[in-house]
Structures are given as structure tokens and as C-alpha cells.
Amino acid sequence: MTISISGLSVSRSGRTLLHPTTVNIEPGERVGLVGASGSGKSTLGHALVDALRRQGHSVAHVPQSPDEALDPLRSMGFHWAEAESALDLAPDVARQKALFEALRIDGGDLRKRPWGWSRGMQQRFVIAMGLIGTPDLLVMDEPTSALDPVVAARSMDLLDRYLADRQTALLLITHDLGLAARRMSRLMVMHEGRIVEDAPTAALLAAPGTAAAKALCLHRNWLALPC
């Protein structure tokens, strides 16, 4: 189902954090929401999740750190059962097995609490929880920043493989244009609470139009090496 929201805005204490914004995302599309710290990326992400849920869309949100999603006093099995129950889904061993295998967490012991799993496995478990209900949109907020690079790259690769040919769209929120450009087909650039550019990745990288996008493009990699 195509996602379409217009007039999304957020104000707090009389200050506008997100100016009226329109977001359209096609099924299966990979969109990167990029910008500097404080540009309003996460504010838009949260507002979008809330607004889409009110519209009846199924939306999953994966926070920056698995600590924000997992209760340290509850077992991983409890979290899984709770996620199924929140979606009014009956326990389904086959669905769980498929997701666990796809994200390579099938070796994890569900009787253990989160700290009994590695950080990378915790993060992939949170992603798997988000995918239980086959959402229309998966919103991931800085999914790699709390992980070691090897683990982060593996998690993103596994997610890419799982989402290929599926209808679930992905919104990747990140300050790192290098990461978004490597993996997303379309980029939205945020600056001071506004989406200032929205274009296919290759077009934006080739001709950024705003100062914010130019700065991101200029500093998107540490090194560009010859093939």
C-alpha cells in the first residue's frame, strides 16, 4: 500500500520542530532520510510512525539502540510473544523460524534476557520483531551507530536480502549520507525541520541543489579509492 501523508508538523513550547511536510513512499521502496544532528530527522520519523498508525497502516520502528526496545528483566521469548500479541497474531512457529533464519538469530536462546545475547543479535531480534506483522513501512533510526561496523554491515545485508521482492518499504534515518547512498534508492535531505531535497539517490549525488545536501555530499565518505 502506498504511504502518503501531507501536512505533517510538530511544534513544542511554541517552537516549530517540523514544518508542514509531505511524505510519499511506494511499496518496497528504500528511502534514506538524511541530515545533520538536530535537523529534525527523528522528529519526522516519530511523527510519521504515529500519523501512519492513525491512518491504519502497519508501521514498525527500530530504534537506534536495542536497549530502547528490550526490557532487560524480560526474556527474549517474552518480548517475542508480546510483539505477536500486540499485533493480535497467534503464535506461529514457522513465521518465527523464517524470520530468525533470515536474520541469522536462530542460534539465540529465547529463555535468556537481552544481555545474554550479543548486541548484533539483539539488534537483529528487534528488526525481526518489527517484521512480524509484515508492515507497510519499517522505520530504522540510525540502525548502525550502536553496533561494531562488521556486525552493522552484516545486519544491513541480511535485512536487504529479507526485504528483496517484499512489499515492506524501508525508511532509513541517518546522519551518514555514505550509508544511505550505498543502500537506498531515494534520498530525502532534512535541514532545520524541512525536507529540502527529495530525489533518486544517483540524481541527488550528481547534483545536490541545497547547501545542506551539498555539505552532505562533499563529506559522504572518508576516502574514495580507485577500483
Partner 1 sequence: MLSVENIAVRYRGVTVLQDISLTLAAGRTLAVVGESGAGKSTLIGTILGLVRCSAGQVTWNKAPVRRCRPALVMQEPRSAFNPRVSLRRSVTEPLIAERRPVDENQMAALCRSLDIPTDLLERRPSAVSIGQAQRIGILRALIAAPPLVLFDEPLSALDAVTQKHTARMIADLQAKEGFAALIVTHDLGYAAAYADHIAVLRAGRIEELTTAQAFIDAPQTAYGRELRDAAFALGALERVA
Contact with partner 1 (CB under 8 A) among 89, 97, 148, 161: 148
Contact with partner 1 (CB under 8 A) among 79, 119, 186, 191: 119
87 binds partner 1 (CB under 8 A): no
Q: Are 121 and 105 in contact (CB under 8 A)?
A: yes
Please work out, in degrees rounded to the nearest 5, the angle formed at the alpha carbon of residue 91 by the alpha carbons of 87 and 94: 115
Kindly state the smallest distance separating residue 39's Cβ from partner 1, in Å: 9
220 binds partner 1 (CB under 8 A): yes
| Cα–Cα distance measured from residue 96 to residue 94, given in angstroms and rounded to the nearest whole number | 5
104 binds partner 1 (CB under 8 A): no
101 binds partner 1 (CB under 8 A): no
Contact with partner 1 (CB under 8 A) among 144, 170, 171, 189: 144
How would you classify the pairing of strands 3-12 and 15-25? antiparallel
Secondary structure (DSSP) of 92-160: -HHHHHHHHHHTT-TTS-TTS-GGGS-HHHHHHHHHHHHHTT--SEEEEESTTTTS-HHHHHHHHHHHH
Q: Are 59 and 130 in contact (CB under 8 A)?
A: no
17 binds partner 1 (CB under 8 A): no
Q: What's the burial of 94, exposed, middle or buried (CB within 10 Å: 0-12/13-18/19+)?
A: exposed
Contact with partner 1 (CB under 8 A) among 182, 185, 192, 198: 182
Contact with partner 1 (CB under 8 A) among 7, 56, 72, 226: 226
C-alpha grid cell for residue 43? 522528529
| Cα–Cα distance measured from residue 199 to residue 220, given in angstroms and rounded to the nearest whole number | 17
106 binds partner 1 (CB under 8 A): no
42 binds partner 1 (CB under 8 A): no
102 binds partner 1 (CB under 8 A): no
Kindly state the smallest distance separating residue 160's Cβ from partner 1, in Å: 10
90 binds partner 1 (CB under 8 A): no
Contacts to partner 1 by CB under 8 A: 36-38, 119, 144-145, 148-154, 156-157, 175-183, 215-216, 219-227
